Amino acid sequence: MSDPNELAAEQIRQHAAEVQGATAGPDLAAELAASTGQTPIGVTEADIASLFAQIKAMQDRLDRAERERASSAPPVLVSTAETLKGYVDVHNDPVAAELAADAVEAAKNATESGDTGPLAKIQARLAKHLTRNPPYPGENHHYRQAVDWASNHLADAIEAFVPPLKSTAVAVGSDRAPAKVVEGSVVG
């Protein structure tokens, strides 16, 4: 056999025969446990119940952290209205400032009641007012931001708003109806 390919093929056949004909060796982990009385190092079997308990505990911690995060942050609808109010206040237009304050209150009411109708009306009036009453003279960054937030961001937040689920439980000590915002009123 002078051909190197034939030599390599013969070695592979011999090795394959050795591997296929080999018998299973002794269970080293069982021998170690029997001789020393200690459990072998490494994982020999999985405790499925323990794994499920650990996974459930992690999921509970994640759910609790998500609830805490959600309860500490204001709803998107409210934070969007508050951001708009900040830009309008810097713009220094009294009518726009009143409408922006009404928008914040209407957003708070909408997150509680689920009705975004009054907020949508205020948003439309505020966007129209800002567009018709630009500042003088020159460019005003805050005015452009106020128009953008009134026309786009608040409208998008109203459209994406998902009303809260109505609870069938009666709130203890709550005999008041939800507050209503009267269009054009100043909330202060």
Sequence-ordered list of residues with C-beta below 8 angstroms from that of 187, at least 6 positions apart, any chain? 101, 102, 104, 105, 181
The answer to which of 33-37, 83-87, 147-151, 156-160 has the lowest mean pLDDT is 33-37
CB atoms within 10 A of CB 153: 17
Residue 132 confidence (pLDDT) above 60: yes
* 142: Cα separation from own chain's centroid: 29
Residue 88 confidence (pLDDT) above 60: yes
Determine the length of the chain.
Answer: 188
* Residue 167 in domain: no
* Residue 151 in domain: yes
* Residue 34 in domain: no
* Residue 138 in domain: yes
Sequence-ordered list of residues with C-beta below 8 angstroms from that of 133, at least 6 positions apart, any chain? 93, 95, 96
- Extract the tokens encoding 87: 């830009």
Helix residue spans in the chain (DSSP H)? 4-21, 28-36, 48-72, 76-91, 94-113, 117-132, 141-148, 154-160
Count of domains forming the chain: 1
The residue segments making up the domain with residue 137 are 75-160
* Residue 110 in domain: yes
Residue 26 confidence (pLDDT) above 70: no
How large is the average pLDDT for residues 104-126?
A: 90
Of 156, 124, 154, 129, which is closest to residue 143 (Cα–Cα)? 129
